[in-house]
Amino acid sequence: MSVDEASAAQVGNRADEPGWEVDPDDESGVAMAATVGRQIKAWREAAGLRAGEFGAAIGYGEDLVYKVEGGRRIPRPEFLDRADEVLGAGGKIALLKRELAEVRYPKKVRDLAKLEARAVELEAYHHHNVNGLLQTEEHMRALFASWLPAYTQDETDRAVAARLARQSIFDRASAPSLSFVQEEVTLRRPVGGTIALRHQLERLLELGRLRNVAIQVMPTHREEHPGTGGLIEVLRFPDGSAVGRSEGAFGGRPVSDPKQLRILGLRYGMIRAQALTPRESLAFIEQLLGET
pLDDT, residue 211, reads: 95
**Residue-wise pLDDT tens digits, 235-252:** 999 999 999 999 888 988
Give percent of the chain above pLDDT 90.
64
Please answer whether residues 217 and 184 qualify as being in contact, where contact means their C-beta atoms are separated by less than 8 angstroms.
yes
For residue 9, pLDDT over 60 is answered with: no
Task: For 130-182, write each residue's pLDDT tens digit.
Answer: 999 999 999 999 999 998 888 888 888 888 988 998 999 999 888 999 999 99
Closest of 229, 211, 196 to residue 130, by C-alpha: 196
Q: What is the mean pLDDT of residues 51-59?
A: 94
Residue 261: band (very low, low, confident or very high) from pLDDT cuts 50, 70, 90 = very high
Q: Where are the beta strands (DSSP E) in the chain?
A: 121-126, 177-183, 213-218, 232-236, 242-246
pLDDT at 19 over 70: no
- How many C-beta neighbours within 10 Å does residue 174 have? 7
Q: How many CB atoms lie within 10 A of CB 197?
A: 22
Name the pTM for this structure.
0.72
The closest of 134, 115, 114 to 124, measured between CA atoms, is 134
| Bridge partners of residue 179, in order along the sequence | 123, 214
pLDDT at residue 127, as a whole number = 92
Contact assessment for residue 172 and residue 122, using Cβ atoms and an 8 Å cutoff: no
pLDDT digits (tens, 9 = 90+) for 115-143: 898 999 999 999 999 999 999 999 999 99
Strand partners, 121: 177, 236
pLDDT band for position 73 (50/70/90)?
confident
